[in-house]
Amino acid sequence: MDIGAQLTQLWSYTPALVLVMARVGALFFTAPLLGGPFVPPRVKSLMTLAISVLLLPGVLALHPQTIPADGRFLLMLAQELATGAVIGFACTCIFEGVRAGGELINRYAGFTAAENFDPESGVGEGPIGDMLLIGMVMVFLGADAHLHLLASVARSFEAVPIGSWSMQPQLLHLAAAGTGQCMAIASAVSFPVLAVIMLITVAEGVLAKAVPQINILFMSFAVKILVALLVLYAGMPAIVAFMGTSIVAMQALVGSSIRAMG
């Protein structure tokens, strides 16, 4: 057994491993759950290395030729980073839509005073947005969507081999579609509460005009908060079911983005 020859062969796999780590690492640093700053970079790096080592044999079977260790390698590295970032963006759109829907409820239902700093987004977040985002994470994990995401990354090496990424016009359409889905999810999640808040606001205006002696402003904050919580409680099963539908839409968006890069 020639140990030197084996070490030389293992060393020849290093460029391919680095490229696989670039794609997986870009996904982990941009995708939800793992992409936030609350996850230590050391954890992200170790998970990236472990998953890349598992994917390396399949990638080498699809890409048997030797990867050049010259200027072209830097170009291929940038392509792999872009591929992982596109997949991560497709996943993030759905989570940000749920978060934005919760923030709309916070703004108009009277929860603005309860905002706190969110280290993940870097801005102030209200309690409803945090609650809906945590619910989305639980549904995401409960539906094993994280396993589907890892499987999509593995299949992406078949649809988009190493070094074959190219900027296609379909990617711009997918970016617009992802942003549109984000806005649609935010509107759908917040619509029941916002509709009731609008009716309360109209009723307050009519009551203030009919009986100006009543201090409507003093009562409106408590009424809106109470009604918003009741509507959320009554509609929580429908919201959870809608989150499951959103995860299906996220999986379709990830698949479309992978096909568009091929």
For 20-70, the pLDDT digits (tens) are 888 888 888 877 776 666 677 788 888 888 888 888 888 777 776 666 666
pLDDT bracket for residue 123 (50, 70, 90) = low
Residue 133, CA atoms < 13 Å, CB-side half-sphere: 22
pTM for this predicted structure: 0.76
Residue 7 is predicted with a pLDDT of: 47
Which residue did the predictor score with more confidence, 129 or 189? Answer: 189
Measure the N-to-C terminal CA separation of the chain; round to a whole number of Å: 41
Q: Where does the chain show beta strands of DSSP type E?
A: 116-117, 124-125
Residue 66 is predicted with a pLDDT of: 66
Say which residues have a Cβ less than 8 Å from residue 175's Cβ, sequence separation at least 6. 89
Amino acid at 250: M
Interhelix angle for 14-30 vs 41-62, to 10°? 130
Residue carrying the six token digits 């509507």: 231
Tokens encoding 56 = 């390396």
pLDDT bracket for residue 4 (50, 70, 90) = low
Q: Check: CB of residue 177 under 8 Å from CB of residue 249.
A: no
Q: What are the boundaries of each domain within the chain?
A: 3-114+125-261
**Closest C-alpha to 13, from 43, 58, 47, 45:** 58
Would the CA dihedral through 182, 99, 198, 195 be positive or negative?
positive
Q: Check: CB of residue 258 under 8 Å from CB of residue 155.
A: yes
Q: Can you tell me the mean pLDDT for 9-17?
A: 69
Per-residue DSSP letter, 113: G
Query: Is it the case that residue 112 has pLDDT exceeding 70?
Result: no
Query: Is it the case that residue 206 has pLDDT exceeding 70?
Result: yes
